[in-house]
Amino acid sequence: MKHCNNAQIAGETSARGGIDDYPSRRESVPQVIPRKDPVVYSNWRQDAPLSEEQTAFYDANGFLSFDIGFSKESRGQLIDEATRLAHEKDELDSNVVITEPDREEIRSIFRVHDLSPIFEKLLKGTRLVEIARFLLGDDVYIHQSRLNYKPGFHGKEFYWHSDFETWHVEDGMPRMRALSMSISLYTNNELNGPLMVIPKSHFEFIPCVGEAPEDHYKSSLKKQEYGVPDEASLTSLAARGGIVAPKGPAGSVTIFDCNIMHGSNSNITPYPRSNVFVVYNALSNHLVAPFGSRPPRPDFLAARGERVVAI
């Protein structure tokens, strides 16, 4: 693993033309590129939707987890809605329903804010959107939403990755000015395949080695084999930041920066670990042509054009 200096980075151009500050999937040797963008784009103020301590923690570590305060009734409604969508999967656009590798069990359902008024209300609700606007310093829109189902016994892993690497190369997201929120439908604990993050890893961009094949998303949504970091880089990041699994009751929310390294293990327990996942992107950071050599992915994975509407 080698570090790039600014002169090296400045010389990189993308397939779409122009300078690319975060080139990836072009070299045969792993590199490390220092982050060139802020993490928190707003100065903290007394009326901010997060405390000063929460804001500082997110800035320094790249994630923040807390109980958002859903009532038992609200949590039950969200679980019922997730169950309904799963049962009605055959009536949905087959493209947005992703099954587990070699199984028919559902892994993810995408664009849930378009499929369900209940999830639309949740993901466009004032509290979550206010937090996103504050951290990103801009109006926001929903870049992607999905339900992640990780049922007991059969829920498979999500390998380590930086979302921004994929969004930049495959979707054309220009800058690190986006964040994700994962809202737990069930208790997250150390047993049932929880989200894991590497604190402070958001300060370094790890380019991946090897160009992904055409329509890579069709296989990567089931099992990602391209666009994943090398083991030496992961080992180095973990040696400095450790690995944390944010835990909490149903209704907890974990916010994490677009560039933080994260993943999760398989769930071999009887206990489900499902969540509602949403990506908020700054309106000024709307997608352009991909920085890789492939055509852009479908808009259920990356909203563009008429779907870019501020909330």
Alpha-carbon distance 250 to 67, whole Å? 8
pLDDT greater than 50 at residue 5: no
At residue 266, does pLDDT exceed 90?
Answer: no
Burial grade of 92 (CB within 10 A; 0-12, 13-18, 19 or more): middle
Burial bucket for residue 62 (CB in 10 Å: 0-12, 13-18, 19+):
buried
> How much is the pLDDT for 22?
95
- The residue with greater pLDDT, 106 or 278, is 278
> In which element (H, E) is residue 182 found?
strand 178-184
- Average pLDDT along the chain: 86
Residue 253 pairs in a beta bridge with: 66, 183
Domains of the chain with CATH codes: 2-307 (2.60.120.620)
Q: 80: helix, coil or strand?
A: helix
> pLDDT value at position 155?
66
C-alpha span between 311 and 300 (Å, rounded):
18
pLDDT for the residue 16: 55
DSSP 211-268: PPPTTTHHHHTTS--SS---HHHHHHHHHHH--B---B-TTEEEEEETTS-EEE--B-
pLDDT for position 213: 55
**Given pLDDT bands bounded at 50, 70 and 90, which one contains residue 150?**
confident
Among 109, 206, 222, 107, residue whose Cα is nearest residue 164: 206
Do 229 and 261 form a contact (C-beta atoms < 8 A)?
Answer: yes
Torsion of CA 184, 187, 191, 193, to 10 degrees: -10
Q: Which amino acid is at 125?
A: G
pLDDT in tens, 199-221: 999 999 999 886 665 654 444 44
Half-sphere exposure for 239 (CA within 13 Å, toward CB)? 6
- Supply 286's token pair: 């709307």
How far apart (Å, rounded) are the C-alpha atoms in residues 20 and 10?
8
Q: Note the pLDDT of residue 26.
A: 81
154-211 confidence digits (pLDDT tens): 667 778 889 999 999 999 999 999 999 999 888 887 777 778 999 999 999 999 886 6
C-alpha span between 229 and 179 (Å, rounded): 19
DSSP 92-138: S-GGGEEEPTTS-SEEEEE-HHHH-HHHHHHHTSHHHHHHHHHHHTS
Q: State the DSSP H helix or E strand holding residue 203, giving kind and residue range, or none if neither.
A: none
Q: Which amino acid is at 159?
A: Y
Three-state secondary-structure class, residue 75: helix
Q: At 180, list the tokens.
A: 């994700």
Residue 12: pLDDT band with limits 50, 70, 90: low
The pTM assigned to this predicted structure is 0.87
Tens digits of residue pLDDT in 123-147: 999 899 999 999 999 999 999 999 9
Give the C-alpha separation, 235 to 230, whole Å: 9
Mean pLDDT of 37-50: 97
